[in-house]
Amino acid sequence: MAFKAQGLAIMLRPHVSDGKFPASFQGAAMLPVRLTGQIPTPPVGADLTAVGHGDDGHLYYCKDDDGHRPVRATEQLFTALADHVNIPTAATQVIEFNGQSLFGSFCHPSTDETEAVRKFISEKAHDELGGPSRWKGSYFSRLFAFDAFVGNIDRNGNNLVAYRDGAAIRILAIDFAASTLLMRPGLDTALDETSTVKFNRLMRRIHGLDEDASLEMVARLESVPLSFIESVLDRMPPTWLDAGMAQRFLEFWRDGSRSKRLAKIGAGLKDGTL
């Protein structure tokens, strides 16, 4: 699609492919993966179309558009953007299934990894000497700033997942489907009493707030060049995003609207109104 405008240690770092964790087409154009076997249980999640194994041997959560929201494009764009600004995410793929082109997010469910996410969310962090550590507060502060920017109204503990990487576990943010920024790029940053706000409030109560970390995320998002957004859109299947919506988003990124939105978010993070 060509558009041009003119983590038992916890590791928090972007993924790399090791043969177990599939490479994502976030970094390069990839051939679609064909879904060869569907798990015969009802999908859990508002936007899930199927859960099954690809012909690459990996298990994927697969999503399609819901008729009025570009779920596939939203997921891919904001997963790639999160990864770019160092919020670790699950690898993604274009999935072919029953003649459809779906967004696929790699999943690796297991009991111990589910427990790792629970502990990551609910237990305070400590340093090597047993004293309090702020690193979890920093992580959740950055994640909230990102979610606020993309208008993600559905962050909660169920859309953080764990992936075992040798002796360590990576915590990965998934599910950006409820983000509104692609459809409505602009200055409205109101999140009201959404799941994202409630989850952030809980994380602040447990892990504390790191204002510097949240403002660092604002600065990272400000530094993302238009060429990166273009490259993500270019690699999407052409059916995933209407050309007009893509052009409006590129214009938002280019014409100063993004900077105004980020300035508003930064002000809200500083004065506590966000």
pLDDT per position as a tens digit, 160-219: 988 877 777 788 999 999 999 999 999 988 888 999 999 999 999 999 999 999 999 999
- Domain range 111-271, its CATH number among 3.40.50, 1.25.40, 1.10.1070, 1.10.10: 1.10.1070
Q: Where in the chain is the domain with CATH 1.10.1070?
A: 111-271
Closest CA to 158 of 175, 134, 138, 136: 175
Q: How far is 171 from 215, CA to CA, in rounded Å?
A: 21
**What pLDDT sits at residue 3?**
44
**What pLDDT sits at residue 254?**
96
**What pLDDT sits at residue 156?**
93
Q: How far is 93 from 235, CA to CA, in rounded Å?
A: 11
Beta pairing partners, 37: 53
Q: How far is 56 from 63, CA to CA, in rounded Å?
A: 18
- Position of tokens 């998002």? 221
Query: Is-contact 171 216, C-beta < 8 A?
Result: no
User: In the chain, which stretches have pLDDT less than 50?
Assistant: 2-21, 25-29
- Position of tokens 């997010």? 105
**What pLDDT sits at residue 16?**
39
**What pLDDT sits at residue 40?**
77
Using DSSP, state whether 115 is helix, strand or coil: helix
**What pLDDT sits at residue 164?**
74
**What pLDDT sits at residue 134?**
87
**What pLDDT sits at residue 44?**
65
